[in-house]
Amino acid sequence: MKFFKEFQEFTFKGNVLDLAIGVIIGAAFGKIVSSIVDDIITPLILNPFLKAARVENVSKLKWNGIAYGNFLSAVLTFFCIAFVLFVIINLVNKMRKKEAATAATPSQQEVLLAEIRDLLKNK
């Protein structure tokens, strides 16, 4: 019975639950980023190239039996995902900085209380 109690305590610790929630949200967020890259960004970049090369599918691009089209697609997808994540993280960091800046400025009430405190100290 002690084993099960320890297991229960372990599984319901804050860190374990936070990690589980992070993994689940990360998986869902990964699907969103993959969809943005696969369905929006990659076609915008590749379609003009494919039309110019008269290729219907990137995977058909081959040279001496080497399917370099798949490799180019994977590299492009990596850079697109990295760019999308960079933009999202950059926006989140800017929002956090704005929140921190507004939280750092004291309210009018705090300013008045500080003045009263300073006046009382001087007496």
pLDDT tens digits in sequence order for the chain, 123 residues long = 788 888 777 777 767 767 777 788 888 888 887 787 777 777 777 777 666 655 556 556 666 666 666 777 777 777 877 887 788 888 888 888 887 777 667 788 888 888 889 888 887
User: Which pLDDT value is given to residue 82?
Assistant: 81
Which tokens sit at 49? 């190239």
User: Which pLDDT value is given to residue 56?
Assistant: 59
Which tokens sit at 117? 């405190």
Q: How far apart are CA 41 and CA 22, in angstroms?
A: 26
Name which of 45, 39, 38 is nearest 77 in CA terms: 38
Q: Is the pTM of this model over 0.85?
A: no
Which tokens sit at 123? 């007496």
User: Which pLDDT value is given to residue 103?
Assistant: 67
Whether 69 contacts 58, CB under 8 Å? yes
User: Which pLDDT value is given to residue 28?
Assistant: 81
User: Which pLDDT value is given to residue 49?
Assistant: 66
User: Which pLDDT value is given to residue 61?
Assistant: 63
Q: Is 63 helix (H, G, I), strand (E, B) or coil?
A: strand
Q: Burial code of 73-100, b = ≥16 C-beta within 10 A, e = fewer?
A: beebeeebbeebeeeeeeeeeeeeeeee
